[in-house]
Structure 1
Amino acid sequence: MLKDNHQRTINYVRLAVTDRCNLRCTYCMPENMQFLERSSLLSYEEIVRLMQVLTDAGINKIRITGGEPFLRKDLMLLLEQLAPMAGISITTNGVLTAPFIPALKALGIHQINLSLDTLQADRFFRITRRDQFSAVQQTLETLLAHEMDIKINMVVMDGMNTDELIDFTELTRSHAVSVRFIEEMPFNGQGNRFSGINWNYLRILDTIRSQYTLEKITDAPNSTSMNYRIPEHKGSIGVIPAYSRTFCGTCNRIRITPTGGLKTCLYGDDVLNVKSLFREGSTDIELLEHLQAALQHRAKDGFEAAASNTHAQLESMSVIGG
């Protein structure tokens, strides 16, 4: 098993397969984003090899992220190779996802995190700078029709969508979905538009409690969200203190960026590049040794990692990997 220097077991990897996205959400990336060349990315062969090394070392959960993962050509062929290795889940913006849902279900991939920050078409355009609300709506309807395990991730932005907290909560009344409200983070790759922490997880919860009775659900080990049910609702809600970072002490995850960078914390620098190791001829055993060594210098939490981050401006979330 992989363990860090704080004796936390690592069994979860977030794998970004691309930095490209077909939306331009204001909190995530600049409009003039410069995307990577294909040769800069981990190849599918390298990804499969890396995931085999990691799953052999105890990783049992792989989340596919981006950018928007369905922009990577032949993604389904990669998923076919990864599905037997570990539990696979996918985070997507839903623009391209609907046609793939039956095939995902056939592979045993049931958990989909749908990034959706508004239920209003005009506001969707203002947030994403793209007119794709109907496509995302179709994906949500298709996911529901196929009875997938759906988590809707809403980034709560001051002055933008806070008036929709109740509307999103209402989705759980008749649908067995988990709606998760996420504190906004400053990973927009441009150093502006971050509204700060005016809407932290406590304020989000207080707003929802003003309209509903919340019953605490026992959170899964290593959960990043605090979860609640509402009497007579089919679904549940959760809040993710992504900026407050209250969950860091039990963190069980690492991140692999599209270029093969290893991040042991969302708020920290890359600590290793597996693509370089592969292309320099490292064996699987040598790769594992490098991974284990990197974990022995892991920050205890996101605040410590941020303090040592050498970037003057935090990166775009699409580069970090969701």
Structure 2
Amino acid sequence: MNMMTELETNTRFVDQFGRNKCKLRISVTDRCNFKCVYCMPEHPEWMKKHDLLSFEELYQFCDFMVRHGIEFIRITGGEPLLRQGVVHFVAQLQQLKKLGLKRISMTTNAHYLKQYAQALKQAGLDDLNISLDSLDVQQFKQLTQKDLSPVLEGIQAAQAVGLPIKINSVLMKGMNEDQILPLARWSVQQKIILRFIEFMPLDGDRKWSSEHVVSEQQILEILNTEFAVTSQDASSVRSSSEPARQYFIDGHPIGIISTITNSFCGTCDRVRLTAQGEFYNCLFAPQGLNLKTEIKALNASEPLSELSLHAALSHYIWNKESGFHAIQQRLKNQPSRKISMHMIGG
């Protein structure tokens, strides 16, 4: 068996804890028109446009990853709809479905979704995750420095063209936990799946504290004041590797992503690539892998480029930590990299 044949039969990437990687998140830009406090630093330093990987390079990387076990690709940012050409990129990724890709998703703040919903549907996008942290106009403006109405119009446009939607709401104590019930009522009325997310230490200015976390238990207690809350199974465990623990409120499905109080790291099957080619085996990884050179070589079809990339990724992914809390413990008294959600995607 020659080296290339051996590489092609060795499909999936796996870490030292036996977790196969089948989900890839691709950030196509770090830029965003919102300034959500849990994500964006007060004074962001944007990546230079000429440092970003081209869509051709991103596609070649996706092609490589699908041939090695990736089944789900999510396009993230920043705000992905800010990057010109992203709709064509979605359409281009359809070619990978014959190689084993199952779903192409996108995470967006929905501000520009009204003008892109139809095109995204026609390009073959399978579903959308939309960030919506408040239904209160004034509070939304405080959280994002943008108006709420374009977001609601974008959600309506996506529904109108038949794009499946999930709403993600990050809760922060003292800021928007009063939105738990309004968002829950709205999700029931709109027949949209809502997922509450515990505030994670991914804010650009590193002001996160555990005191700001609205825990899963607190969310459930508040929901119970108005709804009949039941788990979707006996122990409210997550479905396979899904990050959200699943519940019903008056029979309507709802999820809670509780990374801080009830981590889902044990079944994590995700890896991430930033817009300038930095690869992360974990959202909280203390160190990434700069793949720009390997990806550019891949795009140029240089000899042995696939072997080089496979070797680099296999080693790095294998050494993935057991999870968020293990990383926090190991780096307890050490300076860690500044992790900002706007650069690595959700």
Q: TM-score band, normalised by the shorter chain?
A: over 0.9
Decide whether the 8 Å contact of 1:93 with 1:115 is kept in 2: yes
Alpha carbons of structure 1 residues 272 and 232: separation in structure 2 relative to 1, 3 Å? closer
**Secondary structure of the corresponding residue to residue 84 of structure 1:** helix
How far apart, in 2, do the equivalents of 1:319 and 1:181 lie? 22
1:294 to 316, 322, 330: 316
The equivalent residue for 2:53 is: 42
The equivalent residue for 1:273 is: 290
1:65 to 64, 68, 76: 76
How far apart, in 1, do the equivalents of 2:188 and 2:294 lie? 49
Count of residue pairs the alignment pairs up: 319
How far apart, in 1, do the equivalents of 2:294 and 2:281 lie? 17
The equivalent residue for 2:226 is: 211
1:104 to 120, 123, 140: 120
The equivalent residue for 1:251 is: 268
What is the CA deviation profile of residues 72-108 of structure 1, one whole-angstrom value per residue up to 9, with x for unaligned ones?
1111111111133221010000111221111222233
What is the CA deviation profile of residues 243-267 of structure 1, one whole-angstrom value per residue up to 9, with x for unaligned ones?
2352000000011112211111111
Question: Normalising by structure 2, what TM-score?
Answer: 0.87
Decide whether the 8 Å contact of 1:186 with 1:194 is kept in 2: yes
How far apart, in 2, do the equivalents of 1:17 and 1:176 lie? 30
Report whether the alignment pairs 1:129 with 2:153: no
Decide whether the 8 Å contact of 1:245 with 1:302 is kept in 2: no
What is the CA deviation profile of residues 3-41 of structure 1, one whole-angstrom value per residue up to 9, with x for unaligned ones?
111111110011111000001111111231110001221
How far apart, in 2, do the equivalents of 1:195 and 1:121 lie? 27
The equivalent residue for 2:240 is: 221
Alpha carbons of structure 1 residues 93 and 7: separation in structure 2 relative to 1, 3 Å? same
How far apart, in 1, do the equivalents of 2:274 and 2:29 lie? 8
**Secondary structure of the corresponding residue to residue 43 of structure 2:** coil
Decide whether the 8 Å contact of 1:265 with 1:305 is kept in 2: no
What is the CA deviation profile of residues 35-69 of structure 1, one whole-angstrom value per residue up to 9, with x for unaligned ones?
00012212111101110010000100001110000
How far apart, in 1, do the equivalents of 2:188 and 2:88 lie? 36
Decide whether the 8 Å contact of 2:19 with 2:268 is kept in 1: yes
How far apart, in 2, do the equivalents of 1:164 and 1:35 lie? 31
Residue identity opposite 1:203 in structure 2:
Q
Superposition deviation, residue 314 in structure 1: 3.2
How far apart, in 1, do the equivalents of 2:311 and 2:17 lie? 18
Decide whether the 8 Å contact of 1:29 with 1:317 is kept in 2: yes
How far apart, in 2, do the equivalents of 1:292 and 1:7 lie? 13
2:62 to 48, 51, 60: 51
Identity of aligned residues (%): 31
Report whether the alignment pairs 1:117 with 2:117: no
Which consecutive residues of structure 1, in runs of 5 or more, have no partner in the other structure?
none
Deviates more, 1:138-147 or 1:253-262: 138-147
What is the CA deviation profile of residues 85-138 of structure 1, one whole-angstrom value per residue up to 9, with x for unaligned ones?
2210100001112211112222332311010100011111100123x3111111
How far apart, in 2, do the equivalents of 1:288 and 1:74 lie? 28
Superposition deviation, residue 271 in structure 1: 3.1
Alpha carbons of structure 1 residues 117 and 154: separation in structure 2 relative to 1, 3 Å? same
How far apart, in 2, do the equivalents of 1:141 and 1:110 lie? 17
The equivalent residue for 2:18 is: 7
**Secondary structure of the corresponding residue to residue 211 of structure 2:** coil
Residue identity opposite 2:192 in structure 1:
V
What is the CA deviation profile of residues 177-222 of structure 1, one whole-angstrom value per residue up to 9, with x for unaligned ones?
1110000112111122656354111111111122211222254310
The equivalent residue for 1:315 is: 339
Residue identity opposite 2:80 in structure 1:
P
How far apart, in 1, do the equivalents of 2:112 and 2:232 lie? 33
Report whether the alignment pairs 1:237 with 2:254: yes
Decide whether the 8 Å contact of 2:90 with 2:124 is kept in 1: no
How far apart, in 2, do the equivalents of 1:255 and 1:50 lie? 12
What is the CA deviation profile of residues 218-248 of structure 1, one whole-angstrom value per residue up to 9, with x for unaligned ones?
5431010011123354xx2110013235200
How far apart, in 2, do the equivalents of 1:96 and 1:229 lie? 31
Residue identity opposite 1:90 in structure 2:
M
The equivalent residue for 2:4 is: none
Larger radius of gyration between Structure 1 and Structure 2: 2
Alpha carbons of structure 1 residues 47 and 245: separation in structure 2 relative to 1, 3 Å? farther
Residue identity opposite 1:243 in structure 2:
I
**Secondary structure of the corresponding residue to residue 260 of structure 2:** coil
Alpha carbons of structure 1 residues 271 and 245: separation in structure 2 relative to 1, 3 Å? farther
How far apart, in 2, do the equivalents of 1:105 and 1:313 lie? 37
Residue identity opposite 1:172 in structure 2:
S
Deviates more, 1:172-181 or 1:109-118: 172-181
Superposition deviation, residue 277 in structure 1: 2.1
What's the C-alpha RMSD, in Å, of the aligned pairs? 1.9
